[in-house]
Amino acid sequence: MSGSREAILDTIRKNHVQGDRPRPTVPLFDQAAPADLKALFQKSLERMGGKMLTPDAADPMAPVRQAIVKPGPVLSCVPEFEGDMKITPQTKPTDIAPVEYAVLRAAFGVAETGSLCFTEKQLLVNTTGFLPQHLVILLDPSQIVYNLHNAYQRPEWTQAHYAVFQSGPSATADIEGVLVHGAQGVRSLSVLFHPPS
C-alpha cells in the first residue's frame, strides 16, 4: 500500500506546475447594492432569526442591558459594557461554556446575508462565538458591506489567524418541522448599531 501511495505522490510532484500564477479577477456583483445597507442588513438578519436592538441616544448601552433578561454569567469582550466575567490569558475555550450572554463587537457585517464577521481579535477566545446561550453584538454601521464578494476583500481574511461568519442564532428542524434554536450554538443573536467609542 505504501508503494502505491509513494507512486501517486511522485506523479503529483512531477506534474505540479511551479511558479506564481495570478488569481482570476472575480466581479463583486454589487451593481444592485442599495444605498441603505443598514436597512438591508436588518431585513436579512431578521430573516435569519436575529434581532435588531433599538438604539438609545441618551444611554447607548441601555438596549444591551435590556437584552439581558435571564440570570447567569455575562461575558463582555467590549470596553463599552461591563460584564461579570472576564477573559484572561489563562481562560480556556471550555471556560466559556457556562456563559449565558456574551457581548461582542463584530469586525463587520454583510447586508445581503445578515452575517457578522468575527476574528480572534473580537472573540478573545474563539469559543465565545458559539458556547454562550445568547450573543449581543455591537456593529459599526459604517462597517457593513453589501455581499460576500465584498466581504472576502476585507483584510480580516488575510490578517487574522481565525475568522468566522455568523448569521442569526443556531437552528435545526426535524422532519416534522419542529424548529429548535441553540441546537449547535447560540439560542439568540441580537445586534445593536453602535460605532466604537
10 Å Cβ neighbour count for 88?
8
For range 158-181, the mean pLDDT:
86
List CB contacts of 150: < 8 A, sequence separation 6 or more: 28, 30, 110
For range 71-100, the mean pLDDT:
95
Going by pLDDT thresholds of 50, 70 and 90, the confidence category of residue 152 is very high
Going by pLDDT thresholds of 50, 70 and 90, the confidence category of residue 105 is very high
Euclidean distance between CA atoms 102 and 118, whole angstroms? 13
Question: pTM value?
Answer: 0.85
- pLDDT value at position 2? 62
Determine which helix (DSSP H) or strand (DSSP E) holds 6, and give its type and residue range: helix 2-15
Q: What is the DSSP string of 12-46?
A: HHHHPPPS--PPPP-----TT--S-HHHHHHHHHH
| pLDDT tens per residue across span 63-75 | 999 999 988 899 9
